[in-house]
Structure 1
Amino acid sequence: MKLITSVTLLSAAILAGCQSTSSPEEQAIRSNLCTAGDGSGSSYTQEMFEKAVMGCGGYEIFVDDMLIGQELVFSFNNGKKKRQMVLMDDGTGKYTKLESGASENITWELQDNGNLHLAFEDGYKWDWRLIEEKGAFWGVKSHGYGENEGDRDVLSMVVMNQTALTSFE
């Protein structure tokens, strides 16, 4: 009888530990995040970015209300490099590396094609395309590029609009 009780308790503990604390919206975005065309290096040009976006089925457009004054949280490397970004209505913003607390000023604009274009003080640029949206969670395909040709990437990520998430609760 003790063995059965121990196995039952162990099974319950394992199942409880495996349950995700993320919302159904976040789970849906994460499980369907299209990573086609993702990678880094000199070959990851704007043309490669366009192909990667189309390989994911195209994109939706960003609008001001989705971005201005919103706390956007995302990460790289499976959640190990968390970032926060807040964009202001004057075209400026703040980009913060949450693990170190380091921040930098950025500028941003919505381009005619619905891209979110970000520019950093060091000359690095980053274009975002909205691939999918579920509540406060977005699937985003991005293209980062600097002056060095090797400093380019196409990356898919889940972005959480923390401000909107708080208002949904």
Structure 2
Amino acid sequence: MKVLTSVSLLSIALLAGCQSTSSPEEQTIRSNLCTMGDGNGAEYTSEKFEQAVLDCGGYEIITDDMVVDQELMFSFSNGKKQRKMVLMEDGTGQYSMLDKGTVQNITWAFLDNGSIHLEFEDGAQWDWKLIAEEGNVWAVKSYYADKDGYRDIMTMVVTNKTAMMQ
């Protein structure tokens, strides 16, 4: 009986230690994340991106107070490729690949529809549309295209770390 009790207590302790460290807001966004239309390849056009956004219920407007001088964190490959982006009021910004230790200068602008257009020094372009928001955590559907023809539609969870500290 002692062994069974010890095993049960150990199991409970291990399960408690394996609980997610994400915030309730992040858990809500992740559990409702709409990835319809996501993928990559030549057939993933800006028109397919617009359709993917509509299939996910449309989008909300991103405002300057949400992004200007804010530390935006997100990742790719199940969290292995950590990214940080800071956008300045003058239309410039920095895109950091934390896993590689590199930083790229970018330019950015709001589009008339309330989404963000990013441009990298190598000519790659990336559009972001906000499809859901829970506090300082967002679901963003994005469309990336580089000069070599690589195209990607992807939904990602973005956390505004600056807003978390306020």
Q: How does the TM-score come out when normalised to structure 2?
A: 0.97
Aligned position for 1:163: 162
| Deviation at residue 148 of structure 1 after TM alignment | 2.1
**Post-superposition, which runs of at least 4 consecutive aligned residues in structure 1 deviate over 3 A?**
none
Of stretches 10-19 and 76-85 in structure 1, the one that deviates more from structure 2 is: 10-19
Output aligned runs, 1:12-161, within 5 Å.
12-149=12-149, 151-161=150-160
**Percent identity between the two aligned chains:** 62
| Deviation at residue 124 of structure 1 after TM alignment | 0.2
Q: Secondary structure at the match of 2:8?
A: helix
CA distance in 2 between counterparts of 1:50 and 1:100 reads: 31
Q: Secondary structure at the match of 1:62?
A: coil
The code of the aligned residue for 1:11 comes to S
Deviations 1:70-106 (A, max 9, x none): 0000001111111000000000000000112100100
The code of the aligned residue for 2:51 comes to K
Instruction: Return 5+ residue gaps in structure 1 as ranges.
Output: none
Instruction: Return 5+ residue gaps in structure 2 as ranges.
Output: none
| Deviation at residue 19 of structure 1 after TM alignment | 1.5
| Deviation at residue 10 of structure 1 after TM alignment | 2.1
Deviations 1:3-48 (A, max 9, x none): 1222222221232133212111110001111100000000110000
CA distance in 2 between counterparts of 1:142 and 1:24 reads: 23
Q: Secondary structure at the match of 1:5?
A: helix
Considering only aligned residues, what root-mean-square deviation do their CA atoms show, in Å?
0.9
